[in-house]
Amino acid sequence: MGLVGSYFKLTTMKYLGIVVLVLASLFIGSNASAHSDSVKVAENMKFNVQDVNGEENTFSHYLGKGPLLVNLWALWCEPCKQEMKAFIALSDKLKDKGVSMISINTDQVKSLAKVRAYVKTQGVKYPVLVDPDGSIARDQFAMESLPFSLILRPDGTIYKKHIGFTAGDEVQIEKELDELSTQLGSK
């Protein structure tokens, strides 16, 4: 095999390696949304939270006997609004299985009236908390981007996480909530 043949073989192997790396990163990226490996939740779940009406509580107050779906969102985020509509239906559907839900809005304080109005017009029945300085999203849940959702076990540890939202994602989230609910029920 001459010099030209060796060059083509080396070039082909180089491009094949690049293709394999790209495909591997796409595969890993597509599966990353439902894993909990990079999220660190505070060991002490007793940090203070405030709802859209100004009521204060500790976060641990929302942890119960069943799974807790925590959804972080903002008014400016269209995928967040789509996800919220899907989660409203999901919340009603899974309530009897011991699944509860809270939503944490990350808009600034000056948007609180708009957030309150939006929640009311959408018919949200579960608690909506506010995080105007982003400290809960950043310090407690290591939020990566919006929308950001976590499925928590009753002790506050993470079962699954989801970053972003595309219509239909709620089907997978419902399946995961059902799985966790079943696991917790069998203990």
Question: Residue 164 is part of a domain; what is its CATH number?
Answer: 3.40.30.10
Domain count, the chain: 2
Kindly state whether residues 7 and 79 are assigned to the same domain. no
Q: What does 27-81 look like in DSSP terms, one character per residue?
A: HHHHHGGG--TT----S----EEEETTS-EEEGGGG--SS-EEEEEE-TT-HHHH
Kindly state whether residues 77 and 130 are assigned to the same domain. yes
Q: Which helix (H) or strand (E) holds 163?
A: strand 158-163
Sign of the dihedral through C-alpha 185, 129, 139, 27: positive
Cβ–Cβ < 8 Å for 151, 177: yes
pLDDT score at 31: 37
Kindly state whether residues 100 and 177 are assigned to the same domain. yes
Question: Alpha-carbon distance 9 to 63, whole Å?
Answer: 59
pLDDT score at 10: 47
pLDDT score at 21: 38
Question: Alpha-carbon distance 33 to 2, whole Å?
Answer: 48
Kindly state whether residues 68 and 57 are assigned to the same domain. yes
Kindly state whether residues 16 and 92 are assigned to the same domain. no
Kindly state whether residues 27 and 98 are assigned to the same domain. no
Angle at 125 between CA 102 and CA 127, to 5 degrees: 30
Kindly state whether residues 17 and 65 are assigned to the same domain. no
pLDDT score at 172: 97
Domain coverage including residue 24: 1-33
pLDDT score at 78: 97
Kindly state whether residues 108 and 166 are assigned to the same domain. yes
Measured in degrees and rounded to the nearest 5, phi and psi for residue 178 equal -60, -45
Question: Alpha-carbon distance 50 to 43, whole Å?
Answer: 20
What stretches in the chain show pLDDT beneath 50? 7-8, 10-13, 15-40
pLDDT score at 25: 37
Question: Alpha-carbon distance 131 to 59, whole Å?
Answer: 12
